[in-house]
Structure 1
Amino acid sequence: MLRGRLFLMESETDPYSLRALLQWQIDCGADEAILDAPVDRYALEAKPPPPVPAMPGAAEAVPESPVSAAGPDPVAEARLMADAAQDLPALAAAIAAFPHCELQKGARSMVFADGQAEARLMIVGEAPGREEDRIGRPFVGQAGQLLDRMLAAIGMARDAARPEDAVYITNVLPWRPPGNRTPEPAEIAMMLPFLERHVALAKPDILVLMGNTPCQAILGRTGITRIRGQWTEALGIPVLPMFHPAYLLRQPLAKREAWADLLALKSRLMTGAST
């Protein structure tokens, strides 16, 4: 921060330098200006009031026993809340009310899903990025635009009228991790019951897992360069791991493998998911 301030003082009349400094800060993850000094907002949560001293001669109060020495189980609570949701709007409301994922405290939006819920194809990504967090829809940034072009190449779209041509899209995490970092195992575990219920309610014929994080969540495996293109089964339906579009933007040569996976996906949809 000191280096940035000195640079600003030296070039405060140079708009090109100011823009370069702003872009550098955005690349570092500082994409929102709030105050001049950082504030730990987690430390600003309301604290319980101090205990009231007992009056002389009063009987000593017996403290209540805690429900559990380790506190509430986020995964078990997520499972109960997810199983209680009977439709997709109820599931979205349950996720919004889930109190144990700290990511929602720093996110602008809860990114639930996009596309046609009746679609035969459901795509699961990792987590919202900056644009997704701003708009509230999954895959709307550069990676999302590439995904739309990939789907269009095989005659599919998230806004297609026919279920056989439509796509339904969600993520493992509904909130953006700070700085677009990789989701932590504890975050994946507590949100997995909601994702599994999401798939059960949407009832797709085929599930595409884009990137390592959804493969870790659904399949318990990582190493997308090894497992991509290999059909498997999870949650009772066929599953195809594929490269995430963000990876393809960084590694354009991998688009050849992605095209092969798209053709295999299209063939599976045309011949029937059960074959």
Structure 2
Amino acid sequence: MMSLPIPPEEVVALLRWYADMGVDTAISDEPVDRFAESAVPARPVAVAVRPAEAPRPAASPRLASPAAALLTATPDTVELAAREQARSARTLDELREILDRFEGCALKATASRLVFADGAPDADIMFIGEAPGRDEDIQGKPFVGRSGQLLDRMLAAIGLDRTRTYIANVVPWRPPGNRDPTPQETTICRPFIERQIELVDPKILVCLGARSAQALLGVTDGILKLRGRWLEHEIGGRRIQAMATLHPAYLLRQPVQKRLAWRDFRAIRAALEQP
């Protein structure tokens, strides 16, 4: 049998994605008149009668691979598997390897690569966005496009850079067309970012944008109401200072709001200097 050019589990994931998009019929190069087909009466089919055969012994059940099992599992089962796998990671490198093998999120099938993190794993401050975009999907690092360049300038304004910070996203795979991740995709990926925060163990957590704050801090307010307020994120028995601020992509569309982001970053700098 000819081997498939891509692994079977990726083929299944792609077919499921087609089904989710509403594709239920294969299309060929030649047009087909379905109305003409339905007008032609069906021909009777002769059925050959075969002699009775002795019953065959039942075949032993074939166990599905963990990846294939996740593709057909319920959302609750996938979330539980994500939590168990994330909890098993003892280091950031192990967590990255687990995410590379994880098949429970359909975004992995449409993204080019995993976008795990950038910066210093022992940093005192951790920035978390929502999901990678096109440039991040190409380079495999978070915040490297126009938004990332603005973030770098904002960090430089308070005396920081990527060698002194740690940057990641709630969802580590790019959604198709840069759409927002669905609530289910965010829920599945949340255990991994929570474990990532626990392993980095920062002094301060900064959520870039409302969706990141809503996913991690359990808030529902919009970003203009959330920003600039000190909150707490409890994880691993420890409380971490947390603040939501405006996403750099929003600031590119609304540059007048940079004054608000500047206030937030000054407060973050002051908090970092506290013992």
Which TM bucket (shorter chain)?
A: 0.7 to 0.9
Q: Equivalent residue of 1:248, what SS?
A: helix
How do 1:8-157 residues align onto structure 2 when only pairs under 5 Å count?
42-43=14-15, 56-58=53-55, 61=58, 71=74, 73-157=77-161
Q: Which residue of 2 aligns with 1:213?
A: 211
The 2-side partners of 1:82 and 1:57 are apart by 50
Alignment partner of 1:256 is 2:256: no
2 CA distance for matches of 1:86 and 1:98? 16
1:42 Cα shift? Answer: 1.7
Distance 2:108 2:136 in 1: 14
- Which secondary structure state, in structure 1, belongs to the residue aligned with residue 162 of structure 2? coil
Task: Describe the superposition over 1:148-198 as per-residue Cα deviations: whole angstroms up to 9, x where unpaired.
Answer: 000000000002xxxxxx110000011000111111100110111101100
Q: What one-letter code is carried by the residue in structure 1 that aligns with 2:194?
A: E
TM-score under structure 2 length normalisation = 0.74
Q: Does 1:225 align with 2:224?
A: yes
Kindly provide the amino acid, as one letter, of the partner of residue 55 in structure 2: A
Asked if 1 retains the 8 angstrom alpha-carbon contact of 2:13 and 2:106, the reply is no
CA contact (8 A) 1:82 1:94 kept: yes
Bigger-Rg structure (1/2): 2
Q: RMSD of the TM alignment (CA)?
A: 2.6
- The correspondence for 2:186, drawn from 139, 163, 188, is 188
Contact 1:183 1:213 in 2 (8 A): no
**Gap regions ≥5 residues in structure 1:** 1-39, 46-54, 160-165
Consecutive unaligned residues in structure 2, runs of 5 or more? 1-11, 18-51, 64-68
Offset of residue 220 of structure 1 = 2.1
Code of the aligned partner of 1:203? D
Counterpart residue type for residue 260 of structure 1: R
Structure 1 CA distance for aligned equivalents of residues 183 and 119 of structure 2? 27
Q: CA deviation at 1:41?
A: 8.0
Match of 1:172 in 2: 170
Amino acid at match of 1:243: L
What is the distance in 1 between the residues matched to 2:171 and 2:13?
22
Separation in 2, partners of 1:189, 1:91: 17
- Does residue 1:244 correspond to 2:247, yes or no? yes
CA deviation profile, 1:89-119 (whole Å, cap 9, x unmatched): 0000111111111111111110000011111
Aligned to 2:43: none
Q: How many corresponding residue pairs?
A: 218
Q: Normalization by structure 1: what TM-score?
A: 0.74
Identity between Structure 1 and Structure 2 (%): 45
* 2:128–2:168 Cα contact (<8 Å) kept: yes
1:172 and 1:213 in contact (8 A); partners too: no
Distance in 2 between residues matched to 1:234 and 1:44, nearest whole Å: 35
**TM-aligned CA distance change 1:44 to 1:83, over 3 Å:** closer
CA contact (8 A) 1:109 1:136 kept: yes
Shift of the 269–107 alpha-carbon distance from structure 1 to 2, 3 Å rule, reads same
> What is the SS of the residue equivalent to 2:147?
helix
